[in-house]
Amino acid sequence: PPGSCQAEDGELTIGGCRVTELADRFGTPAVVVDENALRRQARAYTQALARYWPNSQAVFASKSFPCTAVVRVMVEEGLGVDVAGGGELVTALAAGADPAKIVVHGNAKTDEELAMAVKAGAGTIVVDNFDDIDRLERIVTTGHQRVLLRVIPEVDADTHEAMVTGRRDSKFGLAIPQAVEAVARLRTSSRLRLEGLHVHVGSQLLATEPFRRSVEAVGGIAELGEHAVYDLGGGLGVRYTYEDRPPTIDAYVRTLTDAAREHLPAGARLILEPGRSLVAGAAATLYRVVTVKPGPRTLVAVDGGMADNLEPMLYGQRFEATLASRIGGGEPCDLVGRHCESGDTLIRDVPLRDPRVGDVVAVPVTGAYCYSLSNNYNGARRPPVVFCRDGEARAVVRRESYEDLLRRDVPPAGNGGSAR
Ligand code: LLP
């Protein structure tokens, strides 16, 4: 299958660990991660950038898999961290990120979050709107804060509607005329130092052309000098299904840097902020079959679903799946979740070989935006994250407990303060 799971002697493995053993030991649903695969992806970025544009920095879009262990791996590999909000900032700092390499994002950053970022010494804050400028000018009272300005490149991209961010009507960044105005304003600011521009066209893009055009667009907006910074965002697509053919990281970086040579100053510093392409393929989600219902198409219901993976429901994302002990195709089934929603179908029409109650099912390529969007619907406890490497497995996030679910509920007055 796509991603990091492998077939060894008819048994599915990840990071050298047998998937059925992982399910027994850590329970299901569980997110299992091939740690070496995370590192390989990170190195593919650092090596391609070193080759094609050494004056550059890759930063991990932590929204794609926000937990300290994953961020720590990226930090160890030399990446900076892109944070969208106070929670991701706290996670990045807990993971040991160098504040100078933190890039702060958000289209509605609050005073509190901006103050946290400034206090933490975040190297770069991406200004999204004029109110960001007003707020930062109030908050930064000593020294300078380095900022980038996010511009809307007016580039369309062929991906899901909800993942297109570069169009004229995008809620992220400023349209070109306003961006030009914001540049003028930032140039006169005594506290904010405009270093360059940011652009991001969308996510899960399987073609390189929109990226090339975004560089062209951003190059024409303002004269920012020979050493300006250009943060070109993330967005490289990954292989979810057998049919997907995304560009390689090397080809993607080459496209961007070729375009940069044509449209940006030779002394420019480039930042890339990949998320999905770093983490998606490294992880798989393990479930156990709870019931098999015959019908026009066999329904295979598992012990997870839209609480641990919202991608099919939100974006129509297609995944593959296999049984851990009977790998590969069989009769087409619908793999459905356990939640009280008809929309809770993980994969329609997926071939599974003779599925039975108790079987372990693996859905590969669930490293990006699955754990991030996991939730407690129907009282689901969010799954553990398990790192697997060279045959050794360790939990890096434990499963949520029932107590965790009750922890924030405030007990009624008058019962001695105990809810349990
Ligand atoms: N930089 C910015 C400013 C972003 O907004 C994003 C993703 C990235 C970088 C990383 O993009 P990536 O390399 O992961 O494509 N929740 C959606 C995806 C949303 C992407 C949000 N922004 C999903 O589940 O598919």
Atom 2 in ligand 1: residue holding the nearest Cα: 233
Cβ atoms 221, 268 nearer than 8 A = no
Question: Given this model, what pLDDT does residue 329 score?
Answer: 84
The full set of domain ranges for the chain reads 6-34+280-397, 36-277
Q: What whole-number distance in Å separates Cα of residue 320 and Cα of residue 318?
A: 7
Instruction: Compute the half-sphere exposure of residue 212: CA atoms within 13 Å on the CB side of its CA.
Output: 11
Burial level of 214, CB count in 10 A (0-12/13-18/19+)?
Answer: buried
Question: Given this model, what pLDDT does residue 416 score?
Answer: 57
Atom 16 in ligand 1: residue holding the nearest Cα: 369
Selected from 2.40.160.20, 3.40.50.1100, 3.20.20.10, 1.10.10.10, the CATH number assigned to the domain covering 36-277 reads 3.20.20.10
Question: Given this model, what pLDDT does residue 158 score?
Answer: 63
Q: Which fold has domain 6-34+280-397?
A: Lyase, Ornithine Decarboxylase; Chain A, domain 1 (2.40.37)
Q: What is the amino acid identity at position 299?
A: L
275 lines ligand 1 (CB under 6 A): yes
231 lines ligand 1 (CB under 6 A): no
273 lines ligand 1 (CB under 6 A): yes
Atom 9 in ligand 1: residue holding the nearest Cα: 234
Q: What whole-number distance in Å separates Cα of residue 181 and Cα of residue 231?
A: 19
What is the number of other CB atoms lying within 10 angstroms of the CB of residue 243? Answer: 9
**What would the two tokens of residue 314 be?**
């939100």
Which residue in 61, 67, 71, 83 sits closest to 383, CA to CA? 67
Cβ atoms 280, 204 nearer than 8 A = no
Cβ atoms 79, 60 nearer than 8 A = yes
pLDDT score of 153 more than 70: yes
How does DSSP assign 65-118, residue by residue? S-SHHHHHHHHHTT-EEEEESHHHHHHHHHTT--GGGEEEE-SS--HHHHHHHH
pLDDT confidence band for 376 (50 / 70 / 90): very high
pTM of the full predicted structure?
A: 0.96
Question: Phi/psi of residue 75, each to 5°?
Answer: -65, -45
pLDDT tens figures, 41-84: 999 999 999 999 999 999 999 999 999 999 999 999 999 999 99
Does the active-site annotation cover 370? no
- Give me ligand 1 centre to Cα 396, in Å: 23
List, in order, residues 6 or more apart from 359 with CB less than 8 Å away: 288, 289, 323, 324, 325, 326
Identify which of 276, 306, 314, 370 to mutate to test ligand 1's pocket (most ligand atoms within 8 A of the CB): 276
Residues in the chain, overall count: 420
ipTM over 0.85 threshold = yes
Which residue in 235, 222, 229, 234 sits closest to 177, CA to CA? 222
- Segment 157-166 shows an average pLDDT of 64
Radius of gyration of the chain (CA): 23
**What would the two tokens of residue 183 be?**
């540049």
105 lines ligand 1 (CB under 6 A): yes
Cα end-to-end span (Å), the chain:
45
**What would the two tokens of residue 408 be?**
């924030």
**Which is the catalytic residue, given 5, 17, 333, 340?**
340
Q: What is the amino acid identity at position 180?
A: V
